[in-house]
Amino acid sequence: MSEPILWPADELLSALDGILIAGETNNAEMSNVTMNGADGISIDSRDIARGDAFFAIKGELSDGHDYVQKAAENGASVVVISDEKYAQNVSASVVLVDDVLKSLARVAVAARRRTQAKIVAITGSVGKTSTKEFLKDCLQACGKTHASVKSFNNQWGVPISLARMPKDTEYGVFEIGMNHLDEITPLVKMVSPDIAIITTVAPAHLGYFKNLQQIALAKSEIFDGLAKNGTAILNRDNEFFDYLSDRAKLKNITNIVSFGSHPEADLHLYEYQLLPTQSKVTVFDGDKKYKYEIGVAGKHQISNSLAVLLAIKSLDIDLVRVLSVLSMVELTDGRGAQSDIGFKNGHIKLIDESYNANPASMVAAFSVLSAQIVKPDGRKVAIIGDMLELGTDSPQIHAQLAAGIVAADIDLVLACGPDMKNCYELLPANMQAGYAPSSALLVKKLNAALSPNDVVMVKGSLGTKMSEIINKLKETSKAAI
């Protein structure tokens, strides 16, 4: 049996609060198309699926109205615009609204109101996406689950993800990000979660905040939209646990639970074993003991799994139902995915952490690299780029990484970016394998620095374009660079 249509025409038009118009050609046909509603939601004409509603959002770099024709040609059944002149000769139904982004938000709110799903919202300085993916995998074993894709966690991504949620969803998982105060509040009010998770508070986007406590304040905005009798899940090991707990109480939240190695954590991390590609974990929930494996490496991923298990428990699902799922979770490209690729006359193991970086996630990546097992002729190699948005203290924060790299027993380091140079220059000479001002220039040093059997971890902020290094290594697999 086929899935019901995502948005029947009457529900969609009501949510949009716009005026149904059509192009100059075959108005009647356009009305018929509209009556079919929409099977999906998109703001990108390049990834339109047939039957989608296309929202022509105006961004800083481009205007979606310029792609209305292309969206219709690619199969959009409905386009939502705020400038009537773009309705001409469009082979799709057209809805005219005052503000396209606000109309998308209205559809998102309508999607939340029409479902009986239990909703989980996740924020935090690190671990949002991994926690979201792990929880999605676990909940899919328990019922129909919808989750935001990739890192759709901003003022566009959250309403898109919410608007895409089918009416009969049983569990929804949404990631909410920010880099300024007052950004989470409007998004979490849309999502209206039953459970709110803050993975941790750590130095990230410091350039936009006075201090770490202000970051904690921004993260605590997730409580602003928590449903009545909702549950807040906090990291008991984080220095801001008490602060966040107090913030939750100020919002009249009484269900506050915690995870971590702290003896007072509700879900207590009792012991663990870190392995190159996975971890073995023992936890206590009160007097109940659980043992499980998580199919990805790193202490930070154990922490993420604890948040997931607390969410599962808060949803009144037996933890035993999902423990086996955690053993099968995987990381995506750019977020820790591991692969063996050809290099010269052999292979290297590549750990792709290229999507983003801040001090906490960088240290976590060093820990994963440190736990790798290399052959006698192999080395542990870190290729690192700048961590952005750290403000005036950025040079010093980068320099502080050097001690952690040495302690992690990493053999070689290649670095790029003006701030990461501060770290690189503090490393022992025998660890320095190459520096360049940019990732594009650092690529030229890879062939001389790397050898078969090396384990190579690549990490940096998205703006440093460390993915260029990943792409180059993959493109030249089994060939010299």
- In CATH, what number is assigned to the domain containing residue 237? 3.40.1190.10
State pLDDT tens for residues 271-309: 999 999 999 999 999 999 999 999 999 999 999 999 999
Last residue of a domain, one of 307, 326, 345: 326
Tokens 């650092």 label which residue?
A: 442
What is the reported pLDDT for 24? 38
Q: Is the dihedral of CA 59, 175, 137, 227 positive or negative?
A: negative
Which 3-state string (H, E, C) describes 84-105? HHHHCCCCCEEEECCCHHHHHH
**Which pLDDT belongs to residue 200?**
97
The last residue of one of the domains, among 81, 106, 131, is 106
Alpha-carbon gap, residue 445 to 376, rounded angstroms: 23
What is the mean predicted confidence (pLDDT) over 325-340? 95
Q: How many CA atoms lie within 13 A of 132 on its CB side?
A: 26
| 346 and 447 together in one domain | yes
pLDDT > 90: what percent of the chain? 88
Pair (155, 177) in one structural domain: yes
Q: How confident is the model at residue 31 (pLDDT cuts 50, 70, 90)?
A: very low
Torsions phi, psi for 169 (to 5 deg): -60, 140
CB-CB contact of 140 with 169 (8 Å) = no
Q: Is 287 helix (H, G, I), strand (E, B) or coil?
A: coil
pLDDT at 337: 94
pLDDT at 476 over 80: no
CA-atom Rg of the chain in angstroms: 24
- The answer to whether position 31 is within a domain reads yes
Residue 343 phi/psi, 5-degree rounding, is -155, 125
Assigned token pair, 357: 């970086």
Q: Are 93 and 142 in a shared domain?
A: no
User: pLDDT per residue over 204-228, tens digit each?
Assistant: 888 889 999 999 999 999 999 999 9
Question: Do 342 and 465 fall within a single domain?
Answer: yes
* Residue 91 pLDDT: 87
Mean pLDDT on 239-246: 98
Has residue 369 got a pLDDT over 70? yes
How many domains does one find in the chain?
3
What is the value of pTM for the model shown?
0.92
Please compute the mean of the pLDDT values over residues 122-141 and round it to a whole number: 97
Q: How high is the pLDDT of residue 37?
A: 86
Residue 2 is predicted with a pLDDT of: 67
Q: Other C-beta atoms within 10 Å of 259: how many?
A: 29
Average pLDDT score, the chain? 94
Distance, in Å, from the CA atom of 395 to the CA atom of 392, rounded to the nearest integer, reads 8
131 and 195 assigned to the same domain? yes
Q: Are 240 and 183 part of one and the same domain?
A: yes
Average pLDDT over residues 230-242: 98
CATH number of the domain within which 88 lies: 3.40.1390.10
Residue 211 lies in a domain: yes
Confidence of residue 89 (pLDDT cuts 50, 70, 90): confident
> 3-class SS at 272?
strand
Residue 63 within any structural domain of the chain: yes
Q: Which residues pair with 231 in a beta bridge?
A: 195, 255
Domain hosting 233: range is 115-326
pLDDT-derived band at 478, boundaries 50, 70, 90: low
| Tokens representing residue 178 in the block | 């920010």
CA separation for the pair 433, 414 (Å, rounded): 5
Structure-token pair, residue 25: 């050609």
**Looking at residue 23, what is its pLDDT?**
45
For residue 4, is it within any domain?
A: no
Q: For residues 179 and 221, state if they share a domain.
A: yes
> Both 272 and 238 in a single domain?
yes
d(CA 415, CA 437) in angstroms, rounded, equals: 8
CA dihedral angle for residue 213, residue 215, residue 218, residue 223, rounded to 10 degrees: -70
Residue 461 in any domain: the answer is yes
Residue 71 lies in a domain: yes
Pairing of strands 346-353, 337-343: antiparallel
pLDDT level of residue 59 (50, 70, 90 thresholds): confident
- Report how far apart, in Å, the C-alpha atoms of 210 and of each of 18, 181, 401 are: 41, 11, 21
Separation of CA 59 from chain center: 21
In a domain, 480, yes or no: no
Question: How large is the average pLDDT for residues 372-381?
Answer: 96
Evaluate if residue 28 carries a pLDDT over 60. no
In a domain, 481, yes or no: no
Read off the amino acid at residue 308.
V
455-464 per-position pLDDT tens digit = 999 999 999 9
- pLDDT for 342: 94
Contact status, residue 433 vs residue 381, Cβ threshold 8 Å: yes
Q: Among 313, 310, 268, which residue's Cα sits nearest to residue 289? A: 268
Domain termination residue (choose one: 291, 326, 361): 326
Note whether 80 and 173 are same-domain residues: no
Structure tokens at 427: 């490393």
pLDDT at 30 over 70: no
Q: What is the pLDDT of residues 184-201, one digit of tens each?
A: 999 999 999 999 999 999
The reply to whether 75 and 133 lie within a common domain is no
pLDDT range class, residue 367, cuts 50, 70, 90: very high
DSSP assignment of 360-426 equals HHHHHHHHHHHT----TT--EEEEE-PPPS-GGGHHHHHHTHHHHHHHTT--EEEEESTTHHHHHTT
Same domain for 250 and 372: no
Distance of CA 439 to the CA centre of its chain: 23
**Per-state percent for the chain, helix, strand, coil, to nearest 5:** 40, 25, 40
Chain mean position to CA 56:
24
What pLDDT was estimated at residue 60?
Answer: 84
Burial 70-97, CB ≥16 within 10 A → b, else e: ebbebbbbbbbbbeeebbeebbbbbbbb
What CATH number is attached to the domain comprising 413?
3.90.190.20
Are residue 310 and residue 416 in the same domain, yes or no?
no
Q: Could you tell me the sign of the dihedral formed by the alpha carbons of 405, 207, 211, 152, in that order?
A: negative
